[in-house]
Chain A
Amino acid sequence: MHPVHEAMLQTRRDFLTSSASGIGLAALASLLQRDGLLAAPNPLAPRAPHFAPKAKACICFYLEGAPSQLDLWDPKPKLNELHGQKLPDSMLKNVRFAFIQKEGARLMGSPRKFTKHGQCGMELSDFLPHLATCVDDIALIRSMHTEAFNHHPGQLMMNCGVPTFGRPSMGSWITYGLGSESDNLPGYVVLTAGRGSSGGATSWTSGFLPTTYQGVLFRNQGEPVLNLNNPEGLSPEMQGKTIAAITELNRQHLIRSRDPEINSRIAAYELAFRMQAAAPELLDLSTETKQTLEMYGVDRSDPNIQAARGGGKGQFHAFAKNCLLARRLVERGVRFVNLYHASWDHHSNLDAELGHNCLMADQPVAALIKDLKQRGLLDTTLVIWMSEFGRTPLGENRPGFAKVTGRDHHPFAFTLWMAGGGVKGGTILGKTDEIGWNVVEDPVHVNDLHATILHLFGFDHKRLTYRFQGRDFRLTDVGGNVVTKLLA
């Protein structure tokens, strides 16, 4: 037994038998019961959704910056043919770009080689050899579109359903709706690898929902949760005694003041202690087999290549470890895991930078899907790969660039995918036009995506609401239709 628990139990026993305490625990319990104080609601208690869910947990990859769909997911032979040509003025007339100068902008083909994979015949680029082996579990959406074309507003849109501040993120909504299955870890966990992203902490905000539903940042080494470790020199035994005393003193006060909030406080301290034991255990990979570690590539080091926009040193290891931790979190009942990785904003040097990032991400993400599947968790775990928008078929010609080697922000058509958790594997949804400029078939708006995700978790997106400022708000704002073609 963990020393904290042991000490707490011991002190409880002391408390129960001690005449000096003035009141026995049994008597206390009955007093509390009588006053209805034991029933203080736990905001993270598991709750049933509107109808039987397919997904119980979510692992959401956020590749911040907007990976190029034209070089990964959406092959465009015609674009390659038209490489170097102008777009007709009529197509450019009402478009705003972040950096492209309309004058002189030219289409840019992709040097990537696309091949068909799996039974479904999904075409993927040669940057994704591992994910190519998972395509029959993946539902690819080539027809995403959004409303924002700058990073931070785009990220707010993707995470919170509107491109403005103040709304809860998807993870917060789902945790608010379902509570958590874990007794000793938070319901919504965020892991990051590499450098910080545009949105920073606003990406996992709980907005107007209580802070209880905010994403809790975990670190993949050292102290996994902020302030998890006891002060230097304070042993677990001392911690146990401290918590036991705090609890008993709080109970004494509860009897006098009868404020149910004190009960929640006691519960919060107890959860904090359980977390002190559970979170380090989470990071301890010694129970994982060598085969598993190799499959995820946890011990890979960064390749020695020039990648100026990359997310910093050590990220090959960090990203792979996060993928494995995501599985471990879900196994331990965590509801929503957000994995962030920044530096997919390839305005220049796209081939090298995107190749570098894919080398980092492809293997561990594929490993996670396979690992979840072999453990029977994929059916109930929704895996999502997303970003804020896509990239332009036009090469980026911003002033000062010597050569055109990258693509600009493109909100009109981009690709993301989901796997597991009740989505139909092997689906290829939607089509873009010949150059990937616009969606021509099965458009999926961000609100539609969110409606579909909530549906997988058993929610009617129009009924998962929170009243704030006189209005019932929802993740899908005033839009959203469930994309039934994606459902298994």
Chain B
Amino acid sequence: MKPIGLATICGGVVSAAVLWAADPLSRPAAAGLPPAAPGTIDFERDIRPIFAAKCLSCHGAEKQRGGLRLDHGKAALEGGNSGVVIKPGDAAGSRLLRLVAGLDPDTRMPPAETRQSLSAEEVGKLRAWIEQGAVWPTSDEAVATQIPRSSHWAYQPIRRPTPPVVQHREWPVRNAIDQFILARLEQEGLTPSPEADRNTLVRRLSLDLIGLPPTPEEVDAACADPSADWYEKVVDRLLQSPHYGERWGRHWLDAARYADSDGYEKDLGRPNAWRWRNWVIDALNRDLPFDQFTIEQLAGDLLPNATLEQKIATGFHRNTLTNREGGVDQEQFRVEAVVDRVNTTFKVFLGQTFNCCQCHDHKYDPFSQREYYQVFAFFNSDVETDTPAATPDEQKIYDQQKAAFDRKRGELQRAIQDYKAQELPAKVEAWEKALTEAERKKLPADVTAALDVAPEQRTEQQRQLLINHLAKTDARLGELTKALTAHERTAPKLPVAPILTRGQPRKTHVMIRGDFLRPGIAVEPNTPAVLPPLRPSAASGSGPTRLDLARWIVSPDNPLTARVIVNWVWHKYFTRGIVPTLEDFGTQGEKPTHPELLDWLASEFMARGWSLKELHRLIVTSATYRQVSHARPELLQRDPYNALLARQSRPRLEAEILRDSALAVSGLLVRRIGGPSVRPPQPAGISELTYAGSAKWVESTGPDRYRRGLYTWFQRTSPYPMLMTFDAPDSNLCCVRRERSNTPLQALTLLNDTVFVECAQALGARLVREKATTAERLRHAFRLCLAREPLPAEMDILSRLYDGLRHSAAADPAAAAKLAGQVPPGVEPAEAAAWVGLARAVLNLDEFLTRE
């Protein structure tokens, strides 16, 4: 008995039977095989019928289990994923024969439960055939060159449908999107909803495009704008805002499983991970076309004359986890990182559950395990490196520090030289005079030899020898040297960025059952056959590269990428994708609700040069987007998930945007863009959850306390609680769709978390500072937080709340002062506290947490 090699496999449960299986290699070779059939074997007469009857349903043109096919000579003799199964002339060494003869009871072929086992006579024929050289006529060459076809919609070319004509002339059509949506509503007998109020639209656009609520002034300006294109002006302003890159960058960070630490037990920090995040924000702000955006992130390092920025873009695939736990097999986790790169690439850009093929052929979609490792091969030779990547500011600081450092080092070095040249010779003289005979005997031979020579007759070499000897024990020199060494340790370092580069070429094998300890046949880089073929550039003489893969992904004839990306963007606006399963465009995913719209958008996206900003503009200027989000009773009945879009949706804001909104309306938000991650206050005891409390949370002070949520340091084993409570992804796997839960912990966070209490205090003080009367302050609170005036009934509830809070607060002025934080001058503590309490209530309204 022997334990198995330990596999970490998707869906991989190694059965107990295999666990205790005898080692097949230890069995005597031909024992147990039936005798070979007598006479000469004719393949067509004796062998093909056996294959056809017993093997081809799993190893034929349709399916190739284990990568093996037996309907075609060349393929059959090449073998399966595990290697050759037919060795001409060597029956005992041919795995095929051992399997069909049932020599290894646990892996009999065909499997015992099929009741298709070969008779001894059939095995005997196969044995004879192999012993006679396994001759296979070449009549079926054409079979193997068949390209797998699939009728599944997502693998068909993207067409450009003509937008349908809507019968209801009175319905608003602002662009082609509306024609597709309205035509479907017409079919279903539903009517669209009216356009939302201007203030709602301004808040909606602002939250969607830059992830920040509008100021009351921005709302007023838009509402008062008499021009016909007031709406487009708002859209333009927001698309040009540098905060756009932060908002949409955060969405992309989800897909890239971005974090500031390694993950796994040790979970060490990644202080330079933000370099890639900066790249994303910048790339989106300058509207780098999505095809180029993709190429640079997957293969920026391989572009001709790659710039530093293009190399930093490859940080996309440096967000994989690193396991530094003691005693891990480094190769195992290197392979896991490569696996993650393959899976993430196929999920994010192509919407495929290709990850299933790590261990076996895909159960539903037309991808084989062998193809998985062909894609794996694109990434298999990569190495993780860090490249110097100073920003101009950092370079300036570095240059200054380096100059100061060099200056000091020069001084220290000179001091040592001077001391050696000027003071040590005199010390040698004194030492020599004081030297006793006993001491002299202990000295090294060359030193005594030099001492034997009279001082004035010593060679330069001998003088130096004596100086060096004394230098070893001289206290003053020791101090000087120590000072130099200490200084060397303070040498300034140039900031670096984590990137991916090509290392030594590495051979790629299929991994049997996904286990890196069980290499199967070797494979070369290639893309799945069901999709359009890879066209490697002529330059890559040594076979296709990651760059070729990246270009293949964004080539116009790839049927998936543009569809997947427009769907991803669409879902952020309507909370639901046209294909609701964003991560699965395969046969098990849900079908598109509006297939023609999806194709139209995809083709339009490519026609507009893969510009994301143009795609955003197209979607947000549609009448579909501009509808009210209120549900009509019949819509709740007919279309509870709002798949048909007879209204807008009301998504709860994402974790980061909720934080940003609270900070923004209270006036605390620091709008600095980019830079290293920060550590805003988090409840005590969170970082103690990390392995032996290894990740210390040193709270940021000053402006960094109030930065946007996407800059919050993300420690994988103890993520920032507020983010997790509001469904931010855990960053261990790529995430293209966030959950939106609704829990009591969310209520407690918004009510009591230090950050939100500080926001309530700042907002309360702001209300008092900026408005004079109670009514004005109440209205101001609504305008700041909800971008609208309170209704009379709401004013009534608000003013009763304010009175009630003030009444309670007055009972305990000391407590009131604590709640108020900083009491504005001339204001009673109870009044200040009541405004903080009121601000806190408004910051907890469902409408504040929601994009209407």
Give A residues with C-beta under 8 Å from B: 14, 18, 20-23, 34-37, 90-91, 93-99, 145, 147-153, 162-166, 186, 192, 195-202, 205, 210-212, 214, 216-217, 219, 223, 225-235, 237-238, 241-242, 245-246, 248-250, 252-253, 256-262, 264-266, 268-269, 271-272, 275-276, 342, 408-409, 411-412, 437-438, 443, 445, 447, 469-471, 477-480
Contacts and interface: CB of A to CB of B under 8 A. Distances in A.
Interface in B501-519: none
Nearest to A93: B2
A409 B327 contact: yes
Interface stretch (B11-19, B393-401, B418-426, B546-554): B11-19
A211 B725 contact: yes
B797 A249 contact: yes
A233 B353 CA distance: 52
Contact of A250 (B637, B690, B846): B846
Nearest to B726: A211
Given A233-B820, A409-B327, 16 more contacts: A14-B800, A150-B265, A196-B692, A198-B717, A201-B719, A211-B724, A212-B741, A227-B748, A232-B819, A252-B793, A258-B630, A342-B691, A411-B6, A438-B1, A447-B13, A470-B353
Contact of B794 (A225, A249, A469): A249
A153 B8 contact: yes
B808 A241 contact: yes
8 contacts: A198-B691, A205-B730, A232-B819, A233-B812, A248-B797, A253-B847, A257-B629, A469-B583
B748 A226 contact: yes
Contacts of B725: 211
Contact of A245 (B589, B718, B747, B801): B801
Contacts of A163: 8
B372 to A, nearest CB: 16
B361 interface: no
Interface centre among A35, A268, A409 (most CB of B within 10 A): A268
Contact of A261 (B650, B730, B804): B650
A210 B741 contact: yes
A272 B748 contact: yes
Contact of B588 (A211, A214, A471): A471
Contacts of B589: 469-470
B444 interface: no
Interface in B708-740: 716-719, 721, 724-725, 727, 730, 732-733, 739
Contacts of A153: 8, 323
B327 A252 contact: no
B586 interface: yes
B20 to A, nearest CB: 8
B837 A147 contact: no
Contact of B581 (A202, A216, A248, A470): A470
A147 B7 contact: yes
A148 B6 contact: yes
Given A196-B692, A253-B845, A258-B636, A147 B8 contact: yes
A443 B1 CA distance: 14
A248 B793 CA distance: 10
Interface string B742-764: 11111111011100010010000
A90 B721 CA distance: 50
A258 B631 contact: yes
Contacts of B9: 147
Nearest to B589: A470
Contacts of A248: 797
Contact of A211 (B631, B690, B718, B727): B727
B744 A271 contact: yes
B171 interface: no
B844 interface: yes
A269 B718 CA distance: 26
A149 B5 CA distance: 11
B837 to A, nearest CB: 6
Contact of A98 (B19, B326, B691, B801): B326
B805 A196 contact: no
B812 A235 contact: yes
Contacts of A90: 2
A477 B9 CA distance: 11
B6 A225 contact: no
Nearest to B584: A470
A163 to B, nearest CB: 5
Interface stretch (B214-222, B456-464, B681-689): B681-689
Contact of B325 (A198, A237, A342, A471): A198
Given A21-B793, A227-B753, A478-B11, A261 B652 contact: yes
B815 A235 contact: yes
A419 to B, nearest CB: 25
Contacts of B583: 469
A18 B356 CA distance: 61
Contact of B13 (A231, A253, A479): A479
Contacts of B819: 231-234
Contacts of B721: 226
A5 to B, nearest CB: 15
Contacts of A408: 327
Given A162-B11, A238-B805, A250 B845 contact: yes
Given A226-B745, A257-B630, A438-B1, A96 B6 contact: yes
Contacts of B800: 14, 245
Nearest to A44: B743
B439 interface: no
A197 B688 CA distance: 9
A477 B13 contact: yes
B848 to A, nearest CB: 10
A268 B747 contact: yes
B809 A152 contact: no
Contacts of A166: 732-733
Contact of A257 (B7, B631, B733): B631
Contacts of B629: 257, 259
A235 B796 CA distance: 23
A342 B13 contact: no
B133 interface: no
A279 to B, nearest CB: 10
Interface string B344-371: 0000000001001000000010000000
B817 interface: yes
Contact of B730 (A152, A202, A266): A202
B8 A148 contact: yes
Contacts of B718: 196, 200-201
B434 interface: no
A196 B689 CA distance: 4
Contact of B19 (A20, A99, A145, A225): A145
A241 B805 contact: yes
A275 B652 CA distance: 23
Given A447-B13, A469-B583, A22 B325 contact: no
A197 B691 CA distance: 5
Contacts of A266: 846
B329 interface: yes
Contacts of A241: 801, 804-805, 808
A459 B808 CA distance: 51
Contact of B636 (A36, A210, A231): A36
Contacts of B809: 238
A233 to B, nearest CB: 3
Contacts of A216: 745
Contacts of B844: 242, 246, 269
A211 B808 contact: no
Contact of B265 (A96, A198, A250): A198
A233 B364 contact: no
A56 to B, nearest CB: 22
B646 interface: no
Contact of B801 (A93, A150, A242, A478): A242
Contacts of B541: none
B691 A99 contact: no
A201 B327 contact: no
Nearest to B791: A252
Interface centre among A37, A97, A99, A197 (most CB of B within 10 A): A197
